[in-house]
Structure 1
Amino acid sequence: MKKTRATAIPDDVESLKQQLLEMQTLLQKSQRESLRHQQESERVQKESAHHQREAKRFQQLYNHALEQWQLALRKRFAASSEGHPGQGELFNEVEECLTPSAEEVAADETITYTRKKSRRPSLSAELPREDVVHDIADADKVCDDCGHDLHQMGEEVSEKLEFIPATVKVIRHIRPKYSCRCCEQQATRTTIKIAPAPASLLPKSIATPTLLSQIITAKYQFGLPLYRQEALFKSFGIELHRQTMSRWLIRVSRQLMPLYQRLHALMLERPALWSDDTPVKVLDVDKVQCTMWVYGCGGDKPESLPNNTASPPNIVLYDYQDGRGGIHPNTFLAGYHGLLHVDGYAGYHGTDAMLAGCWAHARRKFIEAKAVQPKGKTGRADQALNLIQKLYGIEKSIRQLSIEDKRAARQAHSAPIMEQLKAWLDKALHQVPPKNAIGKAIGYTLNQWDKLQIYLEHGAAAIDNNRAERAIKPFVIGRKNWLFSNSRSGAQASAMLYSLIETAKANDVPPGVYLTALFEQLPHLTDGESVDHLLPWAIRL
């Protein structure tokens, strides 16, 4: 059988050796080529994996930037949930009322446009009435057909609201002085008698309780800065400079310190409190950020209580501090061991209170995540929001229950939903990037989970900290007008006056009426006398 060249094996040793050397050379060359191809393949795979990682990283950066851009647009241009109109909204509210909605425009395009009839404002029956009779002449009170006299069969009444500008007057306090003529003639020591000066909150000033009440409520309740009040008083022919009013407010606030301290002591006796903070700019304080804290107890309405049981008063206190360190809430709440509703700020961790989380903050994170989802699509944010909405639905249904019944209802209905939500969060945590909107929402909720479920075990607790946010809102709205405080003493005075106004409002007492009564009665307070009868819910108006 003829052997091929590839398989032929020489018979002599030298030829076999030469063939082996050639084959060894070819084998080494083949191995080198194979290794080179393997290395090249590995290099290509590494480069491909690197490019894939870079592409994924840039995609995540793009998605993150897109989310931030969408959230910034939403924050700037979307409708706000604030109950009070912003400064820009005050100038176009008439145009907004006259502009048809999208549904009305669609209806106009398909059928016909029908404007909704505006509701006539109601006039309270408690307002004083003045009757103006518009009668026909006596000569016309005869029948045109038969000439007989007409009798009154009824009347038509229409009401219009008259506005009378504020009346300003000067009250002259006259104190007659009496002396002895006999002593005067004998050139001896003359006896002079005069009635004591009436008690006044600010002696030797022109300020009256009503004037101080007007200035304080105008600034701290309705957000009217002192320079605008100065112009307003000038329109009445009164030269009242803003520096004078500012000094008055600081002096008044110092005299209100006993009431503030009493409110503080009463607050620390309550089983559940809430707190929030907001920055404030103070010109003479060398700090990057000063802070106005707010603390309170109670809700928008007194909680349901057994029959013949008085509702505990609601208290709202502001506390100005030069910074935002945790030492400030620790000092204000020293010795307090009850519940404290807060946001995720770590500064509260040093207090002795039991911290309860805020589901409104967690829900807000998922709402932001939903805002950046593709329109018309349902995502993970919707799943979380559906479960959170169920928790709020349960709270709405048990609002009027007692503390014990609230706890039982939460254990029976809210706890299973919380377990379902926790399982979903744990699973979704590993399926989404941690830096995008939904990842941040999930991470925040899990980090706050222990505090978020505190309300299940305590009937006195609330599901969120919205009461604190509503309490701090008047200060935030006022800050848009007056922008900053000139001094630390001015910021502290603002904290004092905001506290009394918001506490009065929380107990359904008109702040202006309360402050007027307070400034009339406070000067008669003796040293060491209790101030309980001057608190908003106890004062004689």
Structure 2
Amino acid sequence: MDEREFSRLPPAAQAYIRELEARNRQLGERVRHLEEQFRLAQHKRFAPSSEKLQDRIFNEAEQAAAEDPEDDTGELDLPDTGLPEAPEPARRKRGRKPLPADLPRQRIEYDLPEEQKICPCCSNAMHRMGEEISEQLHIEVKASVLQHVRFKYACRRCERFAERTPILVAPMPAQPLPGSQASPAMIATVMTGKYVDGTPLYRMEDALGRANIPVGRGTLGHWVIKPTQLHLERLYQSLRKTLLSQPLIHGDETTVQVLKEPGKTAQSQSYMWLYRSGQDSAEPVVLFDYQPGRGKQYPQTFLADYKGMVMSDGYSAWRAIKGVTHFGCLAHARRGFVEVLKTQKKPGKRAQQALEFFQRLYRVEALAREKPPSGETRAAYTLRLRQQHSVPLLEAFKAWLDEQAPQVPPESSLGNAISYTLNQWEYLSRYVADGRAPVDNNIAERDIRPFATSRKVWLFSDTVAGAKASAVIYSLVLTCRACNVEPYAYLRHVLTQLPQRAPETDISDLLPWSFLQVSSYVG
């Protein structure tokens, strides 16, 4: 129907047709939005999530956008700041790596029988001219029983003439779990198995059963929770003091299910809150804090009186912390545009152009990680590079976002990505004013990933005490990872030493970075 025919219709019919057209546009946008969400859900469920795949998507989108003549998006004009191009990544050497030189070698010799040591040509005796060596990795899992024998002494004279006989018993070192059959090494093995290797307690019970060692999962759980409450909690509190004294803290949170929590159903969600020191910290700390909810009061309480920098995603509970300088996660904003490429049937130029900005901004950060010039600190060098390159890029990116926002449906995946970036712009762009500030929260996300991965195996915590113990042990093993300390060796060491230390004594020498200085067990 052309305009002339439409104008001849009664006003009521015209209004009805306009209403139907508007409704049709709304339904079309709704269908496109649901299709995007469906494709994104399929991609998250079935497609690999590696960075290489994301780069491939980016490259395919760039090529598709360049070949699409119907895409009327303008060409991107990036500011020329003299930023050098990224070098080609070095190729990894392929081939089998040699076995570690520090592992003990057990020599197994193979010799010829005496009658075969005769030359087949002249029948004279042969001499040994050398040897041929090949190596195999050999691991033996052994269990043993430690018998703590305490000698007892009595007085024979008192036995004969006195009314009572004094008896003296040789003391033995205090144990991490008094009265238990578990040694420090056994407790460390259980903790490492669950919190480092992700092995549930019922599988440990089965493994011990195959070796004719009857230990139930309830006992294994007791070996985890009680020593944590008695000893490891002291280390956790010491680590917390160290963390709160540092200039930068990364924050994140993830869900956990606790079956027996007062006032909550077994199906309800609780949370593990993560607090992490900066990448360049000389004393890196990773702490988990179990809480029943996701409210702003939990990070506020944990970070009470803290006055440093806090890096987080856009969740409002983190922004509610007062007295700190907040920073936003550039990687989180970038992820929104990457998801646009995953949801679109034919990727357009807009998402690809946004990712070009992120690519340049991260190139600046890669340049800042190189060795600074002589006489210039790392922070000063980073600040100078950011002011020279990142500031103009961010200004151009902000102008691009402002231009694109009115042209994109707000409910679309691209509209959501643009809206999130604009809403968080104050926090996303703040890092350029401080050379110490991080550009993203990736380090916290990496540290929360082991917990999220293990959660798929053990699914839930049975009690609040178990969830709190898990928070403490995850804190210790991930702090060990940040310090390049082997977690089993560390847990065994502190479970041996802490029972000998009175509650008021200093335990700073038992923190992971101190253990690294004195231990030969380095990861």
Q: TM over 0.5, yes or no? A: yes
Which amino acid letter does the alignment assign opposite residue 412 of structure 2? N
Which residue number in structure 1 is paired with residue 175 of structure 2?
200
Structure-1-length-normalised TM-score: 0.81
CA distance in structure 2 between the aligned counterparts of 1:419 and 1:489, rounded to whole angstroms: 50
Residue 473 of structure 1, CA deviation: 0.8
Paired residue type of 1:65: L
Post-superposition CA distance 1:103-126 (Å, at most 9, x none): xxxxxxxxxxxxxx9833531112
1:89-140 per-residue CA deviation (whole Å, 9 max, x = no partner) reads xxxxxxxxxxxxxxxxxxxxxxxxxxxx983353111222223333333333
What is the rounded CA distance, in whole Å, between the counterparts of 1:386 and 1:82 in structure 2? Answer: 15
Q: Name segments (4+ residues, structure 1) moved above 6 Å.
A: none
Aligned to 2:189: 214
Aligned partner of 1:379 in structure 2 is 349
Question: 1:413 maps to which residue?
Answer: 389
Rg: which structure is higher?
1
Residue 163 (structure 1) aligned with residue 139 (structure 2): yes
Please name the residue that 1:182 is paired with: 157
Q: 2:82 maps to which residue?
A: none
Counterpart of 2:440 in 1: which secondary structure?
coil
Q: Using the alignment, how far apart are the partners of 2:309 and 2:363 within structure 1?
A: 23
In structure 2, how many angstroms separate the alpha carbons of the residues matched to 1:132 and 1:532?
45
Q: Would you say the 8 A contact 1:373–1:379 is kept in 2?
A: no
Judged with a 3 Å threshold, the aligned counterparts in structure 2 of structure 1 residues 170 and 66 are, in CA distance, closer, same or farther, namely same
Tell me if structure 2 keeps the 8 A contact 1:503–1:536. Answer: yes
SS of structure 2 residue aligned to 1:404: helix
> What is residue 363 of structure 2 aligned with on the other side?
393
Cα distance in structure 1, aligned partners of 2:147 and 2:121: 65
State which of 325, 329, 333 in structure 1 corresponds to 2:303.
333
What are the residue-to-residue correspondences of 1:93-172 with 2, within 5 Å?
119-164=95-140, 166-172=141-147
Identity of aligned pairs, percent? 41
1:330/1:200 Cα in 2 relative to 1: closer, same or farther (>3 Å)? same
Inter-CA distance 373–82: structure 2 relative to 1 (3 Å threshold): closer
CA deviations on 1:246-305 (whole Å, 9 max, x unpaired) are 122221111222221111111111111101000100111234321001101032xxx3xx
Equivalent position SS for 2:512: coil
Specify the alignment match of 2:85 in structure 1.
none
- TM-superposed CA distance for 1:42, in Å, is 3.7
Shift of 1:178: 1.6
Task: Please report the RMSD computed on the Cα atoms of aligned residues, expressed in angstroms.
Answer: 2.1
Tell me: CA distance 1:530–1:137, structure 2 relative to 1, closer, same or farther (3 Å). same
Higher relative contact order (CA 8 A, sep 6+): 2
Asked if 2 retains the 8 angstrom alpha-carbon contact of 1:298 and 1:313, the reply is: no
Q: What corresponds to 1:520 in structure 2?
A: 496
Counterpart of 1:58 in 2: which secondary structure? helix
Tell me the TM-score normalized by structure 2. Answer: 0.84
What SS does the corresponding residue of 2:173 show, helix, strand or coil?
coil
One-letter amino acid matched to 2:288:
Y
Indicate yes or no: 2:341 matched with 1:403.
no
Matching of residues 478-489 of structure 1 within 5 Å = 478-489=454-465
The match for 2:24 among 41, 45, 55 is 55
1:145–1:54 CA distance, 2 compared to 1 (3 A): same
Instruction: Answer whether contact 1:370 1:379 (CA < 8 A) is retained.
Output: no
Distance 1:527 1:261 in 2: 12
Question: Residues 260, 163 of structure 1: CA spacing in aligned structure 2 closer, same or farther, 3 A cutoff?
Answer: closer
Partner residue of 1:253? Answer: 228
Contact 1:381 1:438 in 2 (8 A): yes
Residue type matched to 1:77 in 2?
F
Could you tell me how far apart the structure 2 residues matched to 1:291 and 1:179 are? 57
3-state SS in 2 of match to 1:159: coil
Distance 2:139 2:224 in 1: 29
User: Does 2:333 match 1:362?
Assistant: yes
Q: Judging changes above 3 Å, is the alpha-carbon distance between structure 1 residues 282 and 421 closer, same or farther for their aligned structure 2 residues?
A: same
- Local SS of the residue matching 2:172: coil
Deviation at 1:407, TM superposition (A): 1.1
The equivalent position to 2:287 in structure 1, one of 292, 317, 320, is 317
User: Which of 216, 233, 241 is 2:208 aligned to?
Assistant: 233
SS of 2:202's equivalent? Answer: helix
Q: Post-superposition shift, 1:245?
A: 1.9
**How many equivalent residue pairs?**
461
Hey, what's the Cα distance between the residues in 1 that align with 2:227 and 2:119? 70
CA apart distance, 1:188:
1.2
* Secondary structure, counterpart of 1:295 in structure 2: strand
- Specify whether residues 45 and 191 from structure 1 end up closer, same or farther in structure 2 by C-alpha distance, changes over 3 A only: same
* Structure 1 counterpart SS, 2:276: strand
Matched, 1:70 2:22: no
Q: Is the 8 A contact 2:357 2:393 kept in 1?
A: yes
Correspondence 1:437 to 2:413: yes
User: 1:488 offset after TM fit, Å?
Assistant: 0.8
Give distance in 1, aligned partners of 2:192 and 2:117.
53
Q: Secondary structure at the match of 1:406?
A: helix
Correspondent of 1:296 among 255, 276, 284: 276
1:334 alignment partner AA: A
Measured at CA, do residues 141 and 273 of structure 1 come closer, stay the same or move farther in structure 2, by a change above 3 Å? same
CA distances 1:500-537 after superposition (whole Å, capped 9, x unpaired): 11111110110000111101111111242111111111
Structure 2 residue runs without a partner (length 5+): 1-5, 53-92, 373-377
- Tell me the residue number matched to 2:428: 452
> What is the SS of the residue equivalent to 2:271?
strand
Judge conservation of contact 2:119–2:126 (CA < 8 Å) in 1. yes
